[in-house]
Chains A and B, each alone.
Chain A
Amino acid sequence: MFVPHSDIDLKKIYEELSINSLSDLFSHLPKDLILENGVDLPESISELEAIEYFETISQRNTQNLICFAGGGHYDVYLPHTVKTLTMRPEFMTSYTPYQAEISQGILQALFEFQSLVCDLTEMELANASLYDGATSIAEAISVAINKTKRDEIVISSGLHPNCKEVINTLIDNQKFNIKYIDLDDFHFPKDYEFSENDAAFVVSYPHYEGSAEDLSELVTKAKDKGLVTICYVDPTLLGILKTPGNMGFDIVVAEGQSIGTPLSFGGPTVGWFATKKEYARLVPGRIIGESRDSNNLKSYVMTLRAREQDIRREKASSNICTNQTLNAIGSAIHLCWLGPEGIYSMGYQAMQKANYLKNRMKEEDIEILNHKSSIREFIIKTPKNSDLVIEGMADEGFLAGIKYDDNHLLIAVTEKRTKQELDSYVDSIKKVLNE
């Protein structure tokens, strides 16, 4: 399949190589290692049969649940324009742009991605993407460790549990002490005292629980003690929230799924990484720079390559090679589609709709833990086990949210939800909670 050779072609090749069969190619391999009968797998199916095969399996995912789950991955409206442009074969089937002269399209699209991320977060330098939000936090912590040569990490506890697990995997906890600081009424404790042994202050904005606050003072306090301050931001709220750059953060990372990529069961998505220029040589992953060619024409090229694994090997700033370029291009196109008014509406409508849902729930005596401080995502108390609530709500046609713990549910609202969906969500959850 997908091998172009006709019998005539094969004859020509066999003659050139003086062989009589494909197995002659492997006469130099140890006999014991040759697979006598090939692999034990099903026969090929045609494309027509494969359509049925994959459609059938896809329908085993419960279809059309109205999504109130968030936690970094949001069911926002992804315009067809963004999808079809991102899927252009020249973007999709090209290789990493090492050969700049035939890769100006990818290079410029990534340069624009970097610039858009910088403009949106108010930072100076963004890379061309990392794997996802969770791994980006871990990479940012590594930068802080390399910069400060300290070994204590302060992390706000209001972080997605999966991100905590990834940090735990990627940051060696035998060498570094990771301190999770509990939130105080859904805010990072304002009186927290940082120490001069601390390398990094990591905080999610908004917190995993959905609450947000102006973090400027904490950032100043942390920087006074020489910490590298790291903000993990929800990019869909950057049209309405104060920017991490404005609050003084040194590094901004994000889970970029909601800008340019469908939910995709969590992957591929894209990790955003932006910082200040003074950190340039510590940044993980690829960076695109603007230059001029031999005729003084504008041209783009991968730059600061001496940080990367293919050149520095074990001394590299990260082992990352393949990244999430196509998703980064999707982010760039989506941000341009949104513009200043669109990104504002995306956040503003989500916040207003969440507010409406909270009000409606309050009327029904459902307890909301962080009504005032939350933006578009919040926690409700579920008198019965939250797993049962999620199951019951699925029967009603909703993905009700993410289980926060046995008696709490984390609910996210995006700009895409309609009043009718919000109203029927309230009706359904009332029913499910009282069943």
Chain B
Amino acid sequence: MSSGGNASSLPLVGGLPEPTIKELSKPGRRSFNYPALDVPEENIEHEAIKTEKAPLPEVSEHDLVMHFSRLAHRNFAVDLGFYPLGSCTMKYNPRFADWVASLPGFSNTHPATPSKFSQGSLEILNVLEEYLIEITGMDFASFQPPAGASGELTGLLIIKRYLENNGFDEKTNIIVPDSAHGTNPASAKMAGFNVVEVATDINGLVDVNELKTLVNEKTAGLMLTNPNTGGLFEEDILEISSIIHDAGGLLYYDGANLNAIVGVSRPGDMGFDIVHSNLHKTFATPHGGGGPGSGPVAVKEYLKEYLPGPIVKKVNDTYEWYQPQFSIGRMHGYHGNFLVALRALAYMKLLGKEGLDNLGSYAVLNARYLASVLSKTLPLAYAKPCMHEFVATVKELKKSHKIKAYDVGKAMLDKGFHSPTIYFPLIIEEALMFEPTETQSVDTLDDLAHSISLIIEDLKDNNQNLSNYPKNLPVGRPNELIPAKHLTVNWGDFELLEITE
């Protein structure tokens, strides 16, 4: 089968490892070239100045370029193949946004430039705020949080400050579903709240009856993503919202799954008071191998004065920085990941109303289709129709053939696809979580489903050593115990270990 998302032609097959840049270093070689010093040189005596040179590698520019290009070559990417990674929204990242982010007027502006001389940057944040609040149904936004987890922490600190300001010091509990992303409880803890877990019912939704028993005068709020991490829309969201609000708590929307509902439904209309968006998921900014992201936080009007400041305010035709009155304070040294925000705006401008109105619909369409085709091979965790992602399980195959989700994920790498998210959400045994996004073609979805059926047949073969996969990649499964035990985290550490053991 051939498809646009299949990367199995990649010459990733590696014979030898790539040496480190330190191993390529030879004394006297250099890449750098600076103009000669053009001011009169003085002998400067200073107690903090050292005499020896820093021990950095010495390489020629061509060696440098070849080394890092070969490293790039040893990596999977959205530009190479399909990432069906649940909860990560690995959609196509438009090239055009790269060009926008490299415009010198944006990329070369110092962050301390007064607003009078950085009107363009402030305008970008203001226009993007208009897009975000319209899409999420909120009123104001701050772009300081540099990633989703930082956005979560921002939201929780806003809840805390708001409750304190209004005399609700006893409200110390944040309710988090047992299916939530790990960042939710970690952020709640960092903000100084107690974490109370609410169970998921057999249909995959928040157990509303249990929620009622957990809510009390201590309830500060609920963190929820909708659709949830099982890919299901929380159909009782309006009731959930009433339960929390009636107890004086606030509703926090984890925007990790926003892609499912863009143009379809809005967190603000569901009753959420605070929303963070992951611009690196929903709005197509590149993930950069793990970052940078951007996690702007949008709130309802009554929480505006709590946002991390300063935020942009438009006064007549100029843009100014505005410091919210009860601001929780800064979440970032300056204005957050500005160039990521800029890329997101470039994407949204290209999509426009029509593209944004259909964004969630096509994301759901692709997931629903893949779920339908794949369910002929693997059982799905839930019977309800999925939104932008869904969870399959190999629980039964583990019992019958000792096949684990991990093995399926690894075998997929050999077929030219990234693994889906595995073992998440934690409440589903042997979970494989798929999120195709709206930018993959039906051929690619068919190819993936077909590949998985071949993998399952292959793994069922009793003569097969399940841990053999992957076989066709630069390296096989790395031993994860060695670095954790011996802290081989710096070049030279491993060689030292070999000598001493």
Contacts and interface: CB of A to CB of B under 8 A. Distances in A.
A166 B330 contact: yes
Interface string B318-361: 00000000001111111111111000001011111111111001
A297 B478 CA distance: 9
Interface in B418-444: 418-419, 424, 438-442
Nearest to B119: A60
Contact of A60 (B120, B349, B477): B120
A105 B75 contact: yes
A54 interface: yes
10 contacts: A1-B351, A13-B442, A43-B353, A169-B308, A206-B48, A266-B335, A294-B476, A301-B483, A314-B188, A314-B189
Contacts of A263: 107-111
A385 interface: no
Given A44-B353, A54-B100, A267-B340, A355 B44 contact: yes
Interface in B272-298: 278, 280, 284, 286-295
Contact of B110 (A73, A268, A335): A73
Given A126-B489, A290-B482, 7 more contacts: A25-B385, A54-B100, A57-B123, A97-B75, A131-B147, A242-B49, A329-B289
Given A105-B71, A344-B53, A351-B44, A291 B482 contact: yes
Q: Chain B's interface: helix, strand, loop or mixed, by majority?
A: loop
B501 interface: no
From A89, A239, A287, A335, name the one whose CB has the most chain B CB atoms within 10 angstroms: A89
A94 B75 contact: yes
Nearest to B439: A2
Given A105-B74, A313-B182, A75 B110 contact: yes
A419 B38 contact: yes
Contact of A101 (B64, B195, B470): B470
B84 to A, nearest CB: 11
A214 B48 contact: yes
Interface stretch (A114-122, A191-199, A222-230, A427-435): A114-122
B288 A341 contact: no
Contact of B290 (A32, A47, A124, A128): A128
Contact of A419 (B39, B93, B100, B290): B39
B42 A352 contact: yes
Interface in A80-96: 81, 85, 87-96
A57 B470 contact: no
Nearest to A298: B17
A91 B72 CA distance: 6
Interface string A308-337: 111111111011111111110100110111
Contact of B37 (A79, A342, A349): A349
Contact of B362 (A3, A131, A309, A323): A3
Contact of A73 (B32, B111, B186): B111
A295 B476 contact: yes
A169 B329 contact: yes
Contact of A239 (B54, B235, B291, B409): B54
A343 B54 contact: yes
Interface in B460-501: 467, 470, 473-480, 482-484, 487-494
B365 interface: yes
Contact of A337 (B61, B369, B492): B61
A61 B361 contact: no
Contacts of A79: 31-32
B233 interface: yes
B331 A125 contact: no
Given A81-B64, A97-B290, A324-B292, A33 B270 contact: yes
A30 B413 contact: no
Interface string A190-230: 00000000000000011000001110000000000000000
B476 A297 contact: yes
Nearest to A135: B332
B77 interface: yes
A148 B440 CA distance: 51
Nearest to B58: A339
A122 B233 CA distance: 51
Given A69-B112, A92-B286, A289 B475 contact: no
Sorted nearest first, the 7 A-B pairs with minimum C-beta distance are A289-B483, A44-B352, A266-B334, A266-B111, A58-B105, A342-B32, A326-B288
A166 B333 contact: yes
B453 interface: no
A178 to B, nearest CB: 12
Contact of B482 (A172, A289, A333): A289
Contact of B38 (A60, A267, A348, A418): A418
Given A109-B71, A321-B147, A337-B61, A294 B482 contact: no
A303 B332 contact: no
B22 interface: yes
Given A120-B54, A267-B339, A319-B153, A326 B291 contact: yes
Contacts of A133: 333
A128 B487 CA distance: 14
B485 to A, nearest CB: 9
A365 interface: no
A58 B122 CA distance: 10
B77 A292 contact: no
Interface string B63-95: 011011111111111111001010010111110
Interface residues on B, range: 35 or more
Nearest to A269: B333
Contact of A163 (B153, B192, B333, B441): B333
A340 interface: yes
A327 B292 contact: yes
B190 interface: yes
A242 B280 CA distance: 39
Contacts of B153: 170, 319
A149 interface: no
A309 B183 CA distance: 6
Contacts of A325: 288-292
A105 B330 CA distance: 34
A323 B114 contact: no
Contact of B356 (A38, A111, A118): A38
Contacts of A43: 352-354
B201 interface: no
A140 interface: no
Contacts of B398: none
A246 B50 CA distance: 10
Contact of A291 (B88, B419, B478): B478
A39 B356 contact: yes
A28 B385 contact: yes
B207 interface: no
A241 B49 contact: yes
A34 interface: yes
A206 to B, nearest CB: 8
Given A33-B265, A59-B120, A336-B57, A25 B364 contact: yes
Given A267-B332, A294-B477, A62 B117 contact: yes
A128 B150 CA distance: 17
B56 A293 contact: no
Contacts of A332: 21
B12 interface: yes
A38 to B, nearest CB: 3
Contacts of B69: 85, 88
Contacts of A309: 149, 182-183, 185-186
From A160, A170, A306, A335, name the one whose CB has the most chain B CB atoms within 10 angstroms: A170
A125 B113 contact: no
A368 interface: no
Nearest to B62: A81
B221 interface: no
A267 B294 CA distance: 10
A323 B74 CA distance: 21
Interface string A348-376: 11011101100000000000000001010
A73 B487 CA distance: 32
Contacts of B65: 81, 85
B20 to A, nearest CB: 6
